[in-house]
Amino acid sequence: MEFDTIAAISTPMGEGAIAIVRLSGDEAIDIADKLFLGVKGKRLKSVATHTIHYGNILDPKTNQIVEEVMVSVMHGPKTFTKENIVEINCHGGLVSVNKVLQLVLNNGARLAEPGEFTKRAFLNGRIDLSQAEAVMDLIRAKTDRAMNVAIGQMEGRLSNLIRKLRQEILETLAHVEVNIDYPEYDDVEEMTHRMLIEKAQYVRDEIEKLLVTSQQGKILREGLSTVIVGRPNVGKSSLLNSLAQENKAIVTDIPGTTRDVIEEYVNVRGVPLRLLDTAGIRETEDIVERIGVERSRKVLKEADLILLVLNFADELTEEDEKLFEAVKGLDVIVIVNKTDLPKKISMERVEELTKNHRLVTISLLEEQGIDQLEEAISSLFFTGSIEASDITYVSNSRHIALLNQAANAIDEAIQGVEMGTPIDMVQIDLTRTWELLGEIIGDSVHESLIDQLFSQFCLGK
């Protein structure tokens, strides 16, 4: 498959030590060679593959030096895209790197679309679709655990298992065809049904194992949407600052200081939390604060985890009781803060309201109880199995949806066999399972979906 030559800046924009302009395509080396002047007149077209060279980028029209660079030259197919690749290492900055990119574009390259380098790696057969998606997961990983899951998927752990299951289904369909076309034995129908049940159940069990990991995998990929709620001045903003380990929110003794939802990503024992500090939920005449309270109520309904904060030095109020009612049925950790102050709260009533929720007492001022809170958050969603290195995790929402559809299709195949449905009808469900699994790795997927997936990548990747 042949493509035109593309180029893009592959490093974040801004000041830094190095900025990289990447080219990929048949003409990548020729285009770079037009602009490069190496030591003693060295030309890029004559250098060995996978080597790096010092020199200058010249503007062909003026013959003036634009940038002092190091240029890496890599001949396909042993590259990320399986095409010729050139990476021009410039000084990090806005003007120089953009000037180099403009020269590259003026001399025959096209500006790459978001994710087009990875898309070419997929279309050229270097990686499958699930591995391509893992590239972006690795870039966006917020914790070591999330990074390890992405690396496992990039290495093909999920792909290999999916291919194994598809091969099992394919061999089963082939055996069924043979038994139908050559019914030499009286018990061929019974043998066919028994084999179908065994193979289909095996595939179903393997899909279920993947789905069991999906909740943890999705949390590692996307983070837990965690909302801190409570009456004003119970320590919500202090809690956010403590978990984030920096002062992200303004903390005062004045109730109602937080007027809007404040968002911050934090890492709690390998679990990424998308932490939302909300305006204190209370009745108020302040128009701005009232808007913040309404936004707090909205994010409450969309949260994966609620951190409900109470004040050890205050009696429980009607507003506190209403908060317990509002979070009923959700994953909640109840936090009683300010244990360094004289006790006024009724812990008996708190325990009664907490019931099945976890309860932690802390003093943010004296930094007591934070470890117990982090342990409660981690153990609520992860029981230790997340550390197992031999488990294949599914973290992508698209993959999870396809696995659920494949599980339903294989269930219909199993039910069909048990009910005595004609074999050709059962074959339809098995084939559907095979196709759905193929969509995960990109063996059977629409071009429009491929374009949509790669459009979510960053420019230059």
Distance CA 267, CA 315 (A): 32
Query: Which comes out higher in pLDDT, residue 146 or 181?
Result: 146
137 band by pLDDT with thresholds 50, 70 and 90: confident
What average pLDDT does the chain have? Answer: 82
pLDDT of residue 107: 95
φ/ψ of residue 382, rounded to 5 = -130, 130
Sheet holding 332-337, edge to edge: 262-268, 271-277, 224-229, 305-311, 332-337, 358-361
pTM of the model: 0.69
**Averaged pLDDT, 352-357:** 83
Domains and CATH numbers, the chain: 6-112 (3.30.1360.120), 142-213+393-444 (1.20.120.430), 221-386 (3.40.50.300)
Please determine, for residue 74, whether its predicted confidence score (pLDDT) is greater than 80: yes
**Distance, CA of 138 to CA of 221 (rounded, Å):** 9
Contacting residues for 289 by C-beta, under 8 A, at least 6 apart: 256, 259, 279
State the pairing for strand pair 6-9/18-24. antiparallel
H or E segment at 38? strand 36-38
- Work out the number of other CB atoms within 10 angstroms of the CB of residue 452: 10
Residue 3 has pLDDT above 70, yes or no: yes
Residues near 417 by beta carbon (within 8 Å), at least 6 away in sequence: 193, 196, 197, 200, 426
Where does the pLDDT of residue 248 fall: very low under 50, low under 70, confident under 90, or very high at 90 and above? very low
Alpha carbon distance 101, 196 (integer Å): 58
pLDDT digits (tens, 9 = 90+) for 446-461: 777 677 777 777 777 7
More confident residue, 419 or 83: 83
CA pair distance 59, 61, nearest whole angstrom: 6
DSSP-derived secondary structure for 233-270: TSSHHHHHHHHHTS--S---SSTT---S-EEEEEEETT
* pLDDT score of 435 more than 60: yes
Q: Could you give the angle at the alpha carbon of 446 between the alpha carbons of 444 and 452, nearest 5°?
A: 125
pLDDT number for residue 288: 43
Type of residue at 278: T
Distance, in Å, from the CA atom of 332 to the CA atom of 354, rounded to the nearest integer, reads 9
Largest CA distance in the chain: 87
Angle (CA) 225-231-236 rounded to 5° is 50
User: For the segment 175-228, what is each residue's pLDDT rounded down to a tens digit?
Assistant: 777 665 555 554 555 667 788 888 889 999 999 988 887 777 777 777 778 888
